Structure 1
């Protein structure tokens, strides 16, 4: 009887260790997937901003769709119910703004919507930003229009022809 108990204990210990290892592997995969989602969201926003610098309304529409899709795929983690509701509401607003940008080919209308999108994106940037990414909040002093950049160098997406280097860094993450 003792031998049977010992064998059962050894088997259960091995099973428990296998489950723990499996959970650790799954957790690591989920963390990696989440970081990839964050990077995709950030890269889609930055590509959108770059399209405004080149005044390419078709690329703006395309990247707005990509941003919209990557935001739809993202789910918040480690938030209380109130924070989760607030984050979900703001994410939905970003998705709607990205949809508005993609629905028009008029670069000036796209830029106007991008202003709102950028302000709301900055609010959620700490949740979207991939671990090894630095983001800067930049502002055009002439219009107070804001945008995010992964570089301190100013490239104004609102007035690229007349005031490409007009702006300043206001904050960073």
Structure 2
């Protein structure tokens, strides 16, 4: 009987904690903090893309590190267990690709990793996009490489010297 009472009390305590946690999640301060984290994440990605448009491999190293740091602070919310596992796996893959970008100053190797990183980033972009920021998936029709942009204007990060404006908007969030 004592074990049943203790188990019941633990269960009630857990429910109370869950209710307290869910109340905390909807406070305006926490919503604003989450939006700030999303902006930091997306802006780190966009800065990395802009580094490739400028063919600046040194800045790409720094912004790849910033992307890794941004992901370390971000936690996914309100996902089913299956979606949480997918998003977490994708985050790990993005961090590994950003680490590969940060590990070299060879712009061609960086761009190759960025191509895969962009595909992975788009897969979870709906969970990362700040409420007040549009995101556009753009594609290079010659290679099929994608990237994300906050603008519909095409600036191809893979071939900025010869094909800067080559590409098209494929999707948007």
TM-score bucket (shorter structure): 0.7 to 0.9
Query: What is the TM-score of this pair, normalised by structure 2?
Result: 0.85
Q: Does 1:121 align with 2:121?
A: yes
Matched residue count: 152
Q: Return the offset for 1:82.
A: 1.3
The answer for the alignment partner of 2:145 in structure 1 is 145
Looking at structure 1, the residues matched to 24 and 76 of structure 2 have their Cα atoms a distance apart, in angstroms, of 20
- Measured after TM superposition, the shift of residue 72 of structure 1 is 1.3
Q: Structure 1, unaligned stretches of length 5 or more?
A: 1-19
Q: 1:35 and 2:35 equivalent?
A: yes
Partner of 1:133: 133
- After TM superposition, give the deviation of residue 27 of structure 1 in Å: 1.7
Counting only pairs closer than 5 Å after superposition, residues 1-173 of structure 1 correspond to structure 2 as 27-173=27-173
Instruction: Give the TM-score taking structure 1 as reference length.
Output: 0.85
Alpha-carbon distance in 1 for matches of 2:171, 2:141: 14
Could you list the per-position Cα deviations for residues 112-132 of structure 1 after superposition, in whole angstroms to 9, with x for gaps in the alignment? Answer: 000000000000100010000
| Greater Cα offset, 118-127 or 82-91 | 82-91
Bigger radius of gyration among the two? 1
Distance in 1 of aligned mates of 2:28 and 2:147: 33
**Root mean square deviation of aligned Cα:** 1.5
Q: Give the Cα separation in 1 of the matches to 2:62 and 2:52.
A: 12
Is the 8 Å Cα contact of residues 25 and 31 (structure 2) preserved in structure 1? no
Uncovered stretches (5+) of structure 2, i.e. residues with no partner: 1-19
**Pairwise CA distance, 1:83:** 1.2
Distance in 1 of aligned mates of 2:25 and 2:34: 14
Query: Which residue matches 1:17?
Result: none
- State the 1:100 CA deviation: 0.6
